[in-house]
Structure 1
Amino acid sequence: MTTEQLHLRPDHLPQHGSSHGSPHGGDRLLFLAEALRTFHDTGALAPSGPDLVSALVVPVTSRPNRPISVLEVGAGTGVVTRRLARVLRPGDRLHVVEANPRFADRLREDPVLAARPAGVGLRLSACRVEELPEAAGTTDTGQHDDTGKEAGTGQGADGERYDVIVSGLPFTNFEPARVRAILDLYLRLLTPGGELTYFGYLGTTTARTLVSGPRRGARHRAVVRLLRRFEATYGLGERTVWRNLPPARAHLLRLPGPYS
């Protein structure tokens, strides 16, 4: 696992007209190449569209009037990350987790992230979310945030907590036990009253059964049942995004407790 702070770098400032892209462009081509190479971990053939991104960042755009800490898991080429970098305020912290090394390299070079507002802390961890020190309840991470404080300290025995988690992981590609472990981890990492968003594509259960056979279809249905139970317990609402490729449904959930 590698964890690093991403700071403002003048040589990475975006040129006029390039603020919506990455330094080299071609996000869709990179995403497609990685999807074809490792579809199990990528889970799609194209990055999320603007409407789906808007649905996923709702907890950050309707937020308390204080600094917040945000965790994004499965950032891909950074379409959600760039939106978060634009809407976060000085004093906020964004921790981005991306296990794919090619996607992580793209995020390190992204000019929009480099040109985020001053005072917005940004940390990138190139690993699975289950491999974070916070996942094991470790408080001594050896990493430091932009203020010089040691990350993960001062948060109690369970490590750092987040006000918002935005998950881009393809849950229906995973085994049910791993999905359950990740959902349980999200609950541990959220502050009381903290909110979680994730999404799933529409019509995938039938397609998975037809394309992959009955065994994978059964695994897919088991994951869907697990997610529906999770949403029944913690769900606040959902939004169907038809203008996405493919159409998707974003879910908003909240951990019980006071949130101010």
Structure 2
Amino acid sequence: MTTEQLRPRSDSSSPPPSSPSGGDRLLFLTEALRTFHDTGALAPSSAELVNALVVPVTSRPNRPISVLEVGAGTGVVTRRLTQVLRPGDRLHVVEANQRFADRLREDPVLAARHPGIALRLSACRVEELPQCRPATPTAPDGIGRAAGTGPGGGADATNATDERYDVIVSGLPFTNFEPAQVRHLLDLYLRLLLPGGELTYFGYLGTTTARTLTSGPRQGARHRAVVRLLRRFEATYGLGERTAWHNLPPARAYLLRAPGGREDWRPGSDCPAAKPAGNR
């Protein structure tokens, strides 16, 4: 596991488009076929879906913000985020697939971002934070060192203050996971969000029927249990949703807000605690 910052280029030329290249599509397909459980798709998200996922960053307070992206893949959302973020903002990208992480480190759009945008890449699962976060703060164009690695990196990560975020953009394929894992991830996201922070994630349309037909009744039942859990979560914290019909396959992005922190979501429970009327 490594955590490092991606150094921006010194030139101020406009970054190239954020759409995936042919090489990115091939890498994504290769990794999807190799590890579909963790990838959850056969192609990167479309521009329509990407724009829906970054809404909290484009409608934001007039101050620097901190953003966490989980499951960046080949970086189609990451590139868009670096284009809409402002100097002083921070973007922390978490990607567990080492091949995707290597591609992100070499991405020319990310390297060409505005030098005032701090970008950190953690090649690990989000559940493994803060062990793979830098032991000490670094400048926007510096190199972060993972806690417990290298000179001066022996500090106990559990003593570090957990970083919290204004926005979390999640690309994880929830319906590929067990319900208990999804409950854990949702609880973790709410703990990582600042009060009032916003979360976006997406799901593909029509997957429940497809899962039952292709994987059998047991996987279909698991899939339905995850969907019910997500719907209850959205009923409590949801602000809205947007359907990306031109995505392959069509997908729906969800926007949620954490009103008061972790006490509103009971870790390990089947659904969030009921939110008082009028707080949506």
The two structures have a TM-score, normalised by structure 2, of 0.82
Listed as ranges, the matches of 1:31-110 within 5 Å are 31-110=28-107
Which whole-Å deviations, capped at 9, do the CAs of 1:10-48 have from their partners, x for residues lacking one? 6xx7999954467x8511111000000000000000000
Partner of residue 139 from structure 2, selected from 146, 154, 158: 146
Which whole-Å deviations, capped at 9, do the CAs of 1:119-152 have from their partners, x for residues lacking one? 10000000000001179xxxx9514332689999
Letter in 2 for 1:180: R
Supply the distance in 2 between the matched residues of 1:141 and 1:96 (Cα, whole angstroms).
13
Report SS of the residue matched to 2:49.
helix
| Aligned sequence identity (%) | 79
Q: Considering only aligned residues, what root-mean-square deviation do their CA atoms show, in Å?
A: 2.6
Task: Please state how far the C-alpha of 1:9 moved relative to its aligned partner.
Answer: 3.8
Uncovered stretches (5+) of structure 1, i.e. residues with no partner:
none
Supply the distance in 2 between the matched residues of 1:16 and 1:88 (Cα, whole angstroms).
14
Partner of residue 228 from structure 1, selected from 231, 250, 272: 231
The two structures have a TM-score, normalised by structure 1, of 0.88
User: Judging changes above 3 Å, is the alpha-carbon distance between structure 1 residues 17 and 69 closer, same or farther for their aligned structure 2 residues?
Assistant: closer
Question: Is the aligned partner of 1:118 residue 2:115?
Answer: yes
Letter in 2 for 1:61: T
Task: Please state how far the C-alpha of 1:118 moved relative to its aligned partner.
Answer: 1.8
Uncovered stretches (5+) of structure 2, i.e. residues with no partner:
148-158, 262-280
- 2:203 aligns to what? 200
Supply the distance in 2 between the matched residues of 1:183 and 1:210 (Cα, whole angstroms).
28
Letter in 2 for 1:95: H
Contact 1:72 1:94 (C-alpha < 8 Å) held by counterparts: yes
- 1:244 aligns to what? 247
Paired residue total: 248
Listed as ranges, the matches of 1:126-137 within 5 Å are 126-133=123-130
User: Judging changes above 3 Å, is the alpha-carbon distance between structure 1 residues 18 and 162 closer, same or farther for their aligned structure 2 residues?
Assistant: closer
Supply the distance in 2 between the matched residues of 1:20 and 1:236 (Cα, whole angstroms).
26
Report SS of the residue matched to 1:249.
strand
Task: Please state how far the C-alpha of 1:241 moved relative to its aligned partner.
Answer: 1.0
